[in-house]
Structure 1
Amino acid sequence: MKRARIYHRGRDIWVSVSADGQSLHLPDGSFIPADGASWLPPVTPGASSYALGLNFADHNKELGFAPKLATPLIFMKGGNCFVGHEGDTPRPADGNQMHPECELVAVIGRPARNVTSAEALDYVAGYTVANDYAIREYLENYYRPNARVKNRDATTPIGPWIVDAADVPDPQALAITTRVNGELVQNGTTADMIMSVAELVAYLSCHSTLMPGDMILTGTPQGVHFCAPGDRVVTEVEGIGRLVNHLVAG
């Protein structure tokens, strides 16, 4: 099952999505075509969002870092940074080194505190896709990205929907791709994550109770491609979804 959040007739609502992603089932029982929807980020208001940096060895090597950090690089993201499917993301005039980063996102389904890696996936309700843009000119510390890089308004497209965890047999066996104006610029797999989804859930739950709706952006594979206003960026995680975003002058 897929669940999405849209703006419809003056309010935000959650809808179910057909298996082929072509139609949306509204709470009143009616249907609308997906291509006519106003998509919102499938984020629960008030939920926490955790993000991972340098969680793929190939990306670390690409940037000149050690293949594996001693401790995971984790930072928080505010709700202002998210934008929905087919949304616009502003690129600052001096952001010439702004590039997309496709990521698998795990959505927590029930409170998790001090869980083990073996049981961690039982606490995941579903998965979605994020494009966590980076702006390299603004980086002050690669190991702890500052807010100007990773918490700007509308710079993290997310969606289009959340896929139930039961429909994702192995979150560590999913292809990850990014295309800019049709050109393939990222091509990786979740099998290459340094810390798996289960390990991340377990690790985070040791420091803070994870609550329903909390999200974990799990990192991105190699592939740095600088974008410009007017670019159409498509990030996709196999079996989860295809997320479209448009860069505009900011």
Structure 2
Amino acid sequence: MKLFRYGEAGAERPGIVDDQGKLRDLSSVVTDIDAWALSPDGLATIAAADTASLPEIAGPVRYGVPVAHVPNLVCIGLNYTDHAEETNAPIPQEPILFNKHTAALCGANDPVWFPEDSTQLDWEVELAFVIGTPCWNVTEAEALNHVAGYTVLNDVSERHYQLHREGQWTKGKSHPGFAPCGPWIVTADEVGDPQELDLWLDLNGQRVQTGTTSRMIFTCAFLLSYLSRYMALQPGDIVTTGTPPGVGLGKVPPNFMKPGDVMRLGITRLGEQEQKVVPLTEDVVQAWRAAHAARRVGV
């Protein structure tokens, strides 16, 4: 199944893509694509619905973050050998962990806001997986049983914040709009082996990233088992798994984004995204505050 959330920011509704590729409203089946909807019971309830009888969604659609109220956004750094090499970083012997603040999450085609003092804004297409059942101290063999589905995530990064402002990577990763996610979650049963997916990203129409998850240093199953030793992952958590080579930091000379640039990216079977880089203005900040004012938790 392909599950998504659509509508204005702060007022998204649940949806599903039917067998003919039509977008259908799921509001009569589940209240949202949240932790319960992604649980085994929730997914079974959605799977049992007669999607052909659900209302078709007409007109252009804004895709929201495909998971409501995300508890945690956990990230893996330098998980492709050739990406580590292009950034002159040593090959990790264990997964490198960091977090993006959940407020960085935005819809798949929402704009990426350019901070006023940004000098090194970069792109990173990544495979992400979404937790469906509580996951703590699990083996590698059982790890993927805890995954509800997979999605596309652009780990937008401000490299100067990340690498030259001291402390951990989080400050370069967590600006609002720095985690476009979606357009949908594809359930694990439809994806199959997550280590057989192709990734790509175009900047202004030019292919800059091409990769395959078969080149990951640490597989999704290993990553989830490893993470579960150090934290108890919750339903609705998103884990993003690293990027293949081709980022701006790895170019010679380095190449970073500016307002007006457009990213288009995608992963086999998981869909595509497109974002335009736009200046961050006070109007944008005020609109963001208003959109989030009524929310209880997360995005």
Shared fold, TM over 0.5: yes
**Is structure 2 residue 244 aligned with structure 1 residue 214?**
no
* Corresponding residue for residue 247 of structure 1: 277
Instruction: Tell whether 2:141 aligns with 1:118.
Output: yes
CA contact (8 A) 1:2 1:19 kept: no
Instruction: Say whether the 8 Å CA contact 1:58–1:221 is kept in structure 2.
Output: yes
Whole-angstrom CA distance in 2 between matches of 1:104 and 1:6: 21
Matched-pair contact (CA < 8 Å) for 2:14–2:25: no
Match of 2:55 in 1: 30
Superposition deviation, residue 18 in structure 1:
3.1
CA distance in structure 1 between the partners assigned to 2:27 and 2:266 by the alignment: 27
Q: State the partner residue of 2:130.
A: 107
Q: Is the 8 A contact 1:81 1:156 kept in 2?
A: yes
Q: Distance in 1 between matches of 2:184 and 2:114?
A: 24
Q: Does 1:159 align with 2:182?
A: yes
- Partners of 2:201 and 2:163 in 1: how far apart? 26
Identity of aligned residues (%): 36
Report if the CA contact (8 A) 1:73-1:144 is conserved. no
User: Structure 1-normalised TM-score?
Assistant: 0.92
Q: Which structure dedicates a bigger proportion of its chain to strand?
A: 1
The 3-state SS of whatever aligns with 2:142 is helix
Structure 2: distance between partners of 1:218 and 1:144: 22
Aligned length: 248
Mapped contact 2:98–2:170 kept (Cα < 8 A) = no
Contact 2:158 2:172 in 1 (8 A): yes
Are residues 1:185 and 2:208 paired?
yes
Structure 1 stretches of 5 or more lacking a match? none
Q: State the secondary structure of the residue aligned to 1:39.
A: coil
Taking structure 1 as reference, are residues 144 and 185 closer, same or farther at Cα in structure 2, changes over 3 Å only? farther
Superposed CA deviations along residues 155-196 of structure 1, whole A, max 9, x for unmatched, are 111110000000111100110100112110100010111110
Q: TM-score scaled to structure 2, two decimals?
A: 0.77
Instruction: Answer yes or no: is 1:235 the counterpart of 2:265.
Output: yes
CA RMSD of aligned residues (A): 2.2
Structure 2 stretches lacking a partner, 5+ long: 29-53, 249-255, 281-299
Separation (CA, whole Å) in 1 of partners of 2:241 and 2:165: 17
Shift of 1:22: 4.8
Counterparts of 1:141 and 1:196 in 2: how far apart (Å)?
30
Q: How do residues 195-210 of structure 1 correspond to structure 2 at under 5 angstroms?
A: 195-210=218-233
Structure with bigger gyration radius: 2
